[in-house]
Amino acid sequence: MSSYCIRKGEHRLVVDTTGQRLRAEVDPEGGADGPALFDEDIDEDFDSEGAWPAPLHSSVTAAGLTSSFVPLVALAAKAKAFDDRLMAALEGVLHDGAGEFEGLYSWLPRLRGAVEAGTVGRGLLDAAAHLCGEPVPTPTKQRLQCRRWLAKFKKDPSASRPLGIYTQTEALADAFRHDRLLQAQLDLDDAEPLRLALESHPDLLLRYRAHLALIARITNPLAHPSVLDACAENVRFLPPSDALENRLVLELFGNAPVPDGFELVPELVAQLRAGGVSSVPEDDDGWYAHQFHANAALLEPSAAGLEYGPAYCRELEETFGALFTLTRETHVKQLDIPVGGAAASPEFLVAPRVSVEPVPTYYERVAAAYGFLSEQLVEHLGPAVIDTVPVAFGGPSIRNALLYMELLFAGAAAASRRELAQPAAFESRHDAAVAVFRSWQADSVRDPDLSVDLRVAVPVYLDRQRQTVRLCVTLGVETRSLDIEFVEPPRYAVHGPSSDDTNVETVGRRVTILAPITIECDAYEPPSRAEVRALCELHKTPAAIADALDGWRRAS
């Protein structure tokens, strides 16, 4: 049985939430204002006379919320900041190596020396090395091949311009350009020297396959065949990864022009809801697919004991679009870009006790995604690497950091299900995870991860006809009021003197959630994080920002 007690003087009210049923709906007025419906004994931190403004905020911290209620977006922002740090650490492993895993920068020079000089494939490896600081080869034929690759690459900013975390340090920017160049398409003849060199050096072949296997698990299965495929028409040395949204774009517009007014996220939502596509990860899918599946939980929210109002469902759909953008941006280097009662106060007020936005399925899927990634990193890198390599300088190891994030989201899910009075959530196996979540929640307003600027842009497909790139852009977050009311109130009993005369009233509760604002627009090249944020500061409103981004950096 789930119960709690409220005391007033000699009286105490015992509330049994086992049979309660709640309904959550966003305030139709839009802003997060209005009186609180939660008395001081239940939520002393809520300001009943204050009003929440609804401007665009750059971060969760900037929205000025308290720790008494955790919006979904706060946990998502925490995950985004962690994911970016984790990806930066994994890039270090992929390129510099760790433990027994030899990084790309270590074995690739040996492969370069084994590939026939003057060939297109050797020119590709020479050009990638030059992007990391090595000189252009001196021999004429080699120099020409190298410079052809560099010229072609630099002419395409949608491929060559670092985005996301890859703008934070020169090492990450080098890794971005290096790997993006090696994602370039090769025909069968040009790939042949690379394949022969790999097959004639078993140690290099082993490391090449290990590298491809790891990036396929960190992000997703590869979207194109590698140079080892002797029959494919077009191959890549480091193939980018596939994604559900990429397949949808190719299915819709692989051989047809993109129609005016088309937006990817609404189409993705419609396809997911209609069953045209499924977010459930396949056995060979990577971490990105598991993250996408977690985000998709917001499109069909479901939790026993809670009804979701239509306006709140629309708000969760908007949040899905924003999380899609933020998640894809973390993987931006590796993902392929397809072409295409004011009455007398009663003695007791009983209101829903909700301390985290009630979307437990989303939290569970995020936790499962972190668990999946941890298992894959152990398999592909070995325990010694993930137990010793830190996510950030001086921080916890990759394994411990992933475990913490898994427990944080599992705890949020269990806490939410307990507040919804779902019996299974009260099993003792959830206690440790709930403790991790509650510990984080208590100090969440000071978590530096929630100060991370959420304004980003990420390319999702190229429009060959218009010669533009479609961008999904998160402009910031707004506050919203979410009203949580009883559909079926809990049972209660009053104990104390003259208990029959005690007035008990059940009321709803209003909490503040965060609504990310996301737009789609077309540009000639993707803007960096800094450029997106500068435009947001200058133009302020979504419409003005969209106008400024549309056709960004038209060729002059």
**Would you state the pLDDT for residue 54?**
59
The overall average pLDDT reported for the chain is: 89
Digit-coded pLDDT (tens) for 509-528:
889 999 999 999 999 989 99
Joined together, the tokens standing for residue 188 give 């069968």
Digit-coded pLDDT (tens) for 423-435:
887 888 899 999 9
**Would you state the pLDDT for residue 31?**
55
The residue ranking higher by pLDDT, 179 or 36, is 179
The residue ranking higher by pLDDT, 323 or 8, is 323
CA distances from 133 to 29, 85, 129, 145, 174 (A): 56, 25, 7, 17, 9
Handedness of CA 369, 375, 378, 379 (dihedral sign): negative
Mark residue 540 as left, alpha or beta (left: phi above 0; alpha: psi -120 to 50; beta: remaining). left
Helix (H, G, I), strand (E, B) or coil at 479: strand
Digit-coded pLDDT (tens) for 146-200:
999 999 999 998 899 999 999 999 999 999 999 999 999 999 899 999 999 999 9
**Would you state the pLDDT for residue 346?**
54
Q: Are 526 and 532 in contact (CB under 8 A)?
A: no
Q: Taking the mean position of all CA atoms in its chain, how far away is CA 293?
A: 11
Q: Are 153 and 178 in contact (CB under 8 A)?
A: no
Closest CA to 259 of 471, 460, 465: 465
**Would you state the pLDDT for residue 498?**
59
* DSSP H or E segment with residue 470: strand 468-488
Q: Are 331 and 87 in contact (CB under 8 A)?
A: yes
Q: H helices of 239-286, where?
A: 244-253, 264-274
**Would you state the pLDDT for residue 44?**
37
**Would you state the pLDDT for residue 345?**
47
Q: How far apart (Å, rounded) are the C-alpha atoms in residues 94 and 234?
A: 25
